[in-house]
Structure 1
Amino acid sequence: MVTDRHHNSTADPFPVPPLAARIFAIAGAAGHEARIVGGAVRDWLAGHKIGDIDMAVAAPIDNVAALLRDAGLKVIDTGLDHGTVTVVEDGQHLELTQTRIDVETDGRHAVVAFSDDWAADAARRDFTINALYIDSAGQLEDPLGGQADLDAGILRFVGTARQRVEEDALRMLRYCRFLPRFGGAGTDDAALAALREQAGRAAGLSGERIASEMSRLLSGRGAAVAVGLLQDTGLAGAALGVTLQSGRLTPEKDQAVAAVFGDDHPAWLVRLAVITRPGDAAGLAVR
């Protein structure tokens, strides 16, 4: 379905950066539809600062990469196995991914295949608020009701929560991270049940992926809510191998860390130190 373009009260269109505009033009001239997708669209609708731009294109990525190179753009094969390249021009960069479906998942990695079906591409995403697209005309495409969930403060998985978690266990940690920012209505019942039931799957994630996600989770304001959910669902023990002292990161302490460090890199380390029990630091570092 197509919805109104703006969740916030401004009448400004989505601020398409020059590199994204070039990709729209090059793909369109070849008969391929490209869209801006995911977090940038979500944050724009929510009135937050827009971060990195990600795009999707309904064409095999090898074909599109060749078109972009012919047009003089630098293309880096950062994730061809997953249908993704990084496009660079004049100091700008963005990730461009072919529309795709999962053909095999094991809870840690997915084998993907090209599909030009935008609905299928949306259906494989983690949360409804991330299955949002801006097309070349600036129109919002919202196939799964992500804007309504964003309006209502509902953070929910696309489709069946258990299936999304079984496909990639990291999504459970991502749910905890996004909840303070986008889940004002509280924890979705289906999501909470899936996190509690499937928490053990997080033990199979690599330390690198867990560290990357935890650094983001603990950097944001409202981290106390995220940490409480990690501990309550059993995710902390499975993913980190330790019990977190979640009660020590009170809202007051969380706000104090934010006041001193903002969202800078040291903030997450300070919060981690607050919730780590004496003697657990060495084991956490090994994990």
Structure 2
Amino acid sequence: MTDYRAQLTGVFTALVTPFKGDAVDYEAFDALVERQLAAGIAGLVPVGTTGEAATLSDDEAAEVIARTVKLAAGRCVVMAGAGANDTRTAVAKAIRAEAAGADMLLVVTPYYNKPSQAGLIAHYQAIAAATSLPIVLYSVPGRCGVEIAPETCKAILDTCPNVVAIKEAGGSVDRVTKLRLACGDRLVIHSGDDALTVPFLSAGAVGVTSVVANYAPQAMVDLVRAWQAGDTARALVLHEQLSELTAAMFIEANPGPVKAALAHAGFSSPDMRLPMVAMSDANRSALVQTLGRFQASFQEIR
């Protein structure tokens, strides 16, 4: 039996999709992935929210996933985004991601539609029936307007053997406990909020799907590894050292700030596709100042 808890333990990077103008910058993307792998990241998540999946064409999404799989070459788990607010489209995305070589699927709740909990169950059942890949549920009510109830997670697990985990991004540590009480160890839990990594780990999560890791993969890996090793004091130091950076990465809607941070470091451009636009000058200035303080302080504690 596959140990999904072990596979999902650690830091998974919610990869940005670099653009050069309106075209995907595959050279910058490849370099981004290699930097993640060098830092010892446990997993890569292409074409998710941070990867601007909503504005990628089907061909672009398939290429980004395939490149991630090829570059990872078995060195980490590839969890491909495959969500949509139309179940038929989500099924098609799941099938394409499997064909592209993904190891797992990350499937967000339908956005805009605001389905009932019964609708969520039916949605995930349809997707699970269409693929052999393990599926990670993604509950992010701030973006989608609907939350997967703990009892709904249990119902999905009871009827979908290949649903194995949840990326929980509702901003509440209490949700971890409620999910564990409803589902037990059958449901592996990932933090979907960088700022809540340590609190989530303390409540029973096994890792984090991280936006910050695009910019600071080694710091995020060190934090989670310290916690896993029982060095809670070091984990707390790293948590505090990352706190200002984490807050700055969400000063505007993701992925604007993290793309600006990567651009400031010379890794890729800050370009996004409409309706996302560049950060305001004031917020970008504040972000750059935070990046400078982070670099100085992180070097001191390495």
TM over 0.5: no
Structure showing greater radius of gyration is 1
Greater RCO, 1 or 2 (C-alpha within 8 Å, sep 6+): 2
TM-score after normalising by structure 2? 0.29
